Amino acid sequence: MSTAIGELATANETAPDVAEDRAEILAGLRAEQKRLLPKYFYDQRGSELFDRICELPEYYPTRTELKIMDAHLAEIAKLVGPQAAVIEFGAGSNVKVRQLLDGLEEPAAYVPVEISADYLLQQAQDLARDYPHVHIQPVFADFTQPFELPRHPVEPRRNLVFFPGSTIGNFTRPQAADLLEVMREEAKPGGALLIGVDLRKDPEILRAAYNDSQGVTAEFNLNVLHRLNRELEADFDVAKFRHEAVWDEAEGRIEMRLISLEDQTVTVAGRSIPFRRGEHIVTEYSHKYSLEEFQALARGAGFTPQKAWTDEDRMFSVHFMSVE
């Protein structure tokens, strides 16, 4: 069966459009601890910059996860079974899903779910050329909320939710539990989850990974201010902010910040936002887990852990979990 890429589906009405999320953004910037949600990173430019981050020498998660997947792909394929529909939450670079689709037995469908529509379509079109026997149906949605899955020409035998890259770490632990419940709902009874989870390790390794020497992570972080300028009538002078990533031992997480270099006032959507010198906006958390800690979190969301793989240095983990 040869299929063309399906039309872009909008699966819910909460996909994060900056203008529509004006109230949420303003509330975050006017809070005692200023914050912006990491979902606003991923416009076209942000998605491209994140792909570059994944190739940096300091950024170990991508290459380590790929090695783990490569070493255990045959076992993963056996656990998944034939004719699965792969539903990738937060679909980004195609490298990991290509690796997975190449290893699975007769995958029936691929559903990339993303909040950057242009980037999503571009990536889906690239895959459609190389996997003509896989029904590819992109969905534009905020995957933190339940969404409707598309129908496929061939009914898949099971749904496999795929969430690589340790993006689960961007959510607080209660938020991660909520997201896992959404994943369980999309997987359906009899479905499964294949997820990458970054592990606790030497904080110096973590600091280097999020403060890379080429400055790509800084550019990625600062890009959110460019986006607000463009899409929300803001007037951030981006040169007056700098990127910083710090390790919070008590919370077990990296915290990404944008620090104001001077006292200043910024206008966002017609509202004045004062900044003191040294004051920062929290733009992202990256929580790190032990194997046991993450498995307990997933059990609470209704998953049954089946298998977990790590690299030799226990830097990163890949988990396979089922839904009864």
**Residue range(s) defining the domain that contains residue 316:** 55-201+289-322
Stretch (H or E) spanning 304:
strand 304-310
Q: Average of pLDDT values for 215-227?
A: 98
- Residue 93 domain-assigned (yes or no): yes
Closest to 50 measured CA to CA, from 308, 256, 267: 256
- Residue 306 domain-assigned (yes or no): yes
Distance between CA atoms of residues 219 and 53, nearest Å: 10
Distance between CA atoms of residues 48 and 69, nearest Å: 23
DSSP states of 136-165 as a string? E--EES-TTS--PPPP-SS--SEEEEEE-T
Q: Are 165 and 91 in contact (CB under 8 A)?
A: no
What pLDDT shows up at residue 18?
73
Question: Where are the strands (E) in the chain, listed by range?
Answer: 9-10, 84-89, 109-114, 135-136, 139-140, 158-163, 192-198, 241-248, 253-260, 264-268, 271-275, 280-287, 304-310, 316-322
Residue 275 in 3-state DSSP?
strand
Confidence of residue 93 (pLDDT cuts 50, 70, 90): confident
Question: For residue 7, what is the DSSP state?
Answer: P
Residue pLDDT, tens place only, 162-220: 999 999 999 999 999 999 999 999 999 999 999 999 999 999 999 999 999 999 999 99
Question: For residue 311, what is the DSSP state?
Answer: -
What pLDDT shows up at residue 44?
86
Confidence of residue 17 (pLDDT cuts 50, 70, 90): low
Mean pLDDT of the chain: 92
Residues with Cβ < 8 Å from 168, sequence gap 6 or more? 176, 179, 180, 195, 196, 197, 287
- Residue 261 domain-assigned (yes or no): no
Residue 260 in 3-state DSSP?
strand
Closest to 110 measured CA to CA, from 76, 77, 149: 149
What pLDDT shows up at residue 215?
97
Can you give the CATH number for the domain in which 163 is found?
A: 3.40.50.150
Q: Are 214 and 1 in contact (CB under 8 A)?
A: no
Confidence of residue 7 (pLDDT cuts 50, 70, 90): low
Q: What percent of the chain shows pLDDT beyond 70?
A: 94
- Residue 238 domain-assigned (yes or no): no
- Residue 42 domain-assigned (yes or no): no
Confidence of residue 123 (pLDDT cuts 50, 70, 90): confident
- Residue 195 domain-assigned (yes or no): yes
Closest to 103 measured CA to CA, from 194, 167, 166: 194
pLDDT at 315 over 70: yes
- Residue 263 domain-assigned (yes or no): no
Q: How far is Cα of residue 9 from the mean position of the Cα atoms in its chain?
A: 19
Domains held by the chain: number = 1
Closest to 86 measured CA to CA, from 17, 2, 186: 186
Q: Are 112 and 138 in contact (CB under 8 A)?
A: yes
Entry pTM: 0.88
- Residue 229 domain-assigned (yes or no): no
Rounded alpha-carbon distances, angstroms, from residue 144 to 171, 184, 246: 10, 12, 26
